[in-house]
């Protein structure tokens, strides 16, 4: 590994900030179970050693790691060497006896390589002496897949049972558990399984906090841009469309959705080509891959007294800049039921208030603020929609807002400027002629 060059003050600052940002995640994640699924192509790539280092690092931090590996390219290579033809039904390999021999050979190669690398300490580092025990075993019972599309799948199987206690025991002992996509039947037969299915079923059965797929795919993309998050519903809708998703990704996604329904809170898709992808995904808020979760990450709800600190933190910088009118903590406490807050991953990232003027059938949207790191992502707009819906619900016919600088934002969202004299009397009485805010109205 390259030595860290921390020569400039900026680099030092970034380093410190990075570690501080990671701390809450380390605290929240350690002692939890993580299933890391490695595509077979990842194991052969030159980036693999970096991934092994990161896995060792996570293990040393107290993460309970289960590594599931794939081996499709390795199987292909051995089949080609031996001139054995492959047959597929519905995209799934039919495993006859000859093919099964190749599968076992591939599994042996891949698992030895992973075991060897995982036992490698970090040379010339304080981790050089760290011992990472890897254990594997007959944790999976399989059943034959049977007949698909009129074809007997022979030794291609599906997971029947997972020996959860045995895996847990190994994790309790501090081992990294390595699982190959092979399963055994009670009668002693061996079955060739899909690593995606194994990873997802193990994650559900072991109540993993996360399932992470590392492949050399670039993650999920939409219009060439990385899809940052996707909800289970969206993924299912995507899977229903027959076109546009590569076969392999479809397989990953189907299993990710399964895991999500099975209670795994977050499933991540990462590209192995990016150095440190695992660490960047786990220890930063933005991540570098695609994260699938049940609920969408942002929620809007009514504010409570407990949110006052967060709301103040959001609006104070805007008050200092003269964009919002100053509100004291006491005022905020008195008005708290007029506020809504937007949460992102348990962090309050936005707020807004609705001040009703029932006599005029109008409401004021006030104190709209979005955390600087989350701006230009449509959160302000979402808050506006909530305020509009709320105003409609309590029978208001019009919404207005006062602003000194962001008039265009309101105009783009259907507001029109109007004179101060149009404001409700009570509001006019409070109007600050020094601030000279502009007034914008919208019919609901
Ligand atoms: N580090 C956090 C986690 O692991 C957030 C990751 C966000 N990732 C993303 N692709 N949006 O839960």
Sequence spans of domains, the chain: 22-295, 299-443
Domain at 299-443, CATH homologous superfamily: Gcn5-related N-acetyltransferase (GNAT) (3.40.630.30)
Nearest CA owner, ligand 1 atom 6: 287
Residues of the chain with pLDDT under 70: 1-4, 121-130, 218-219, 222-223, 242, 244, 295-296
For position 219, what pLDDT does the model report? 67
Taking the centre of ligand 1 as the mean of its atom positions, its distance from the CA of residue 286, in whole angstroms, is 6
Separation between Cα atoms, residue 319 and residue 67, nearest integer Å: 50
**Count of CB atoms situated within 10 Å of the CB of 305:** 10
Q: Is 219 in the pocket of ligand 1 (CB under 6 A)?
A: no
Angle among Cα 308, 313, 318 to the nearest 5 degrees reads: 120
State residue 1's pLDDT score: 46
Across the chain, which distance is largest between two alpha carbons, in Å? 89
Q: What is the DSSP letter of 5?
A: -
What separation in Å is there between the alpha carbon of 287 and the centre of ligand 1? 5
Q: How far is the CA of 345 from the centre of ligand 1 (A)?
A: 9
Q: Which residues contact 413 (CB under 8 A, 6 or more apart)?
A: 381, 384, 442
Give the domain 22-295 fold: Carbamate kinase (3.40.1160)
Position 127 scores a pLDDT of 65
Residue nearest to atom 3 of ligand 1 (CA): 282
Locate 152 and state its tokens: 């007997």
Cα(229)–Cα(265) distance, rounded to whole angstroms?
Answer: 13
Ligand 1 centroid distance, CA of 396 (Å): 39
The torsion region of residue 146 among left (phi > 0), alpha (psi -120 to 50) and beta comes to: left
Report the nearest atom of ligand 1 relative to the CA of 289.
Answer: 10
Which residue carries 């380390």 as its tokens?
26
Q: Cβ(266) to ligand 1 under 6 A?
A: yes
Decide whether any atom of ligand 1 lies within 6 Å of the 290 Cβ. yes
Question: Which pair of tokens denotes residue 247?
Answer: 């076969």
Using CA atoms, how far apart are residues 379 and 20, in angstroms rounded to an integer? 26
Q: For 306, phi and psi rounded to 5 degrees?
A: -65, -15
Residue 285 CA to ligand 1 centre (angstroms):
5
User: For residue 226, which atom of ligand 1 is closest to its CA?
Assistant: 10
Residues in the chain: 444
* Radius of gyration, alpha carbons of the chain: 28
The pLDDT of residue 339? 97
Closest ligand 1 atom, residue 284 Cα: 1
Residue nearest atom 5 of ligand 1, based on CA coordinates: 285
* Conformational region of residue 41, where left means phi above 0, alpha means psi within -120 to 50, and beta covers everything else: alpha
In 3-state terms, what secondary structure has residue 53?
helix
For residue 88, which phi and psi values (nearest 5 degrees)?
-125, 150
Neighbouring CB atoms inside 10 A of 399's CB total 24
**Cβ atoms 195, 264 nearer than 8 A:** no
Contact of 381 with 410, CB cutoff 8 Å: no
Rounded CA-CA distance 232/291 in Å is 10
Question: Does ligand 1 come within 6 angstroms of the Cβ of 228?
Answer: yes
Tokens of 55: 């896995």
Ligand 1: distance of its center to the CA of 267 in Å?
Answer: 9
Distances (CA, A) of 42 to 8, 119, 199: 34, 18, 15
Please give the model's pTM, rounded to 2 decimal places. 0.76
Here the tokens at position 159 are: 């997971």
Query: Could you tell me which of 157, 204, 196 has the C-alpha nearest to residue 179?
Result: 196
């Amino acid at each position: 590994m390259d030595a860290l060059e921390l020569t400039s003050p900026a680099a030092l600052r970034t380093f410190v900030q990075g570690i501080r940002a990671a701390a809450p995640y380390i605290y929240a994640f350690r002692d939890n179970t993580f299933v890391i699924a490695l595509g077979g192509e990842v194991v052969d790539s030159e980036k693999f050693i970096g991934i092994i280092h990161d896995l060792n690092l996570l293990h040393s931090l107290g993460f309970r790691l289960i590594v599931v590996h794939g081996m499709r390219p390795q199987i292909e290579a051995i089949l080609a060497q031996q001139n054995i033809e492959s047959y597929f039904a519905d995209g799934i390999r039919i495993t006859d006896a000859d093919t099964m021999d190749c599968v076992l050979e591939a599994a042996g190669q891949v698992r030895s390589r992973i075991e060897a690398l995982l036992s490698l300490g970090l040379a010339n580092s304080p981790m050089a002496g760290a011992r990472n025990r890897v254990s594997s075993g007959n944790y999976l019972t399989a059943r034959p897949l049977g007949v698909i599309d009129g074809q007997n799948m022979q030794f291609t199987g599906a997971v029947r049972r997972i020996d959860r206690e045995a895996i847990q025991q190994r994790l309790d002992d501090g081992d990294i558990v390595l699982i190959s996509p092979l399963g055994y039947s009670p009668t002693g037969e061996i079955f060739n399984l899909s690593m995606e299915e194994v990873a997802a079923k193990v994650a559900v059965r072991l109540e993993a906090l996360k399932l992470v797929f590392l492949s050399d795919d670039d993650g999920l993309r939409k219009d060439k841009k990385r899809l940052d998050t996707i909800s289970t519903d969206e993924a299912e809708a995507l899977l229903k469309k027959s076109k546009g998703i590569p076969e392999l990704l479809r397989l990953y996604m189907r299993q990710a959705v399964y895991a999500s329904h099975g209670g795994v809170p977050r499933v991540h898709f990462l590209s192995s080509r990016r150095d440190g992808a695992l660490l960047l995904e786990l220890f930063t808020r933005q991540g570098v891959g695609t994260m699938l979760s049940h609920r969408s990450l942002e929620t809007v709800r009514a504010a409570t007294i407990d949110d006052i600190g967060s709301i103040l933190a959001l609006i104070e910088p805007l008050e200092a800049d003269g964009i919002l009118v100053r509100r004291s903590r006491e005022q905020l406490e008195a008005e708290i039921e007029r506020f809504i807050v937007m949460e992102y991953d348990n962090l309050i990232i936005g707020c807004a208030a609705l001040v009703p003027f029932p006599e005029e059938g109008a409401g004021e949207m006030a104190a709209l603020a979005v955390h600087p790191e989350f701006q230009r992502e449509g959160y302000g707009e979402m808050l506006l929609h909530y305020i509009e819906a709320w105003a409609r619900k309590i029978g208001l016919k019009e919404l207005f807002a006062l602003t000194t600088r962001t008039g265009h934002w309101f105009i783009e969202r259907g507001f029109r400027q109007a004179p101060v004299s149009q404001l409700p009397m009570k509001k006019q009485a409070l109007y600050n002629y020094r601030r000279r805010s502009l007034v914008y109205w919208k019919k609901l």
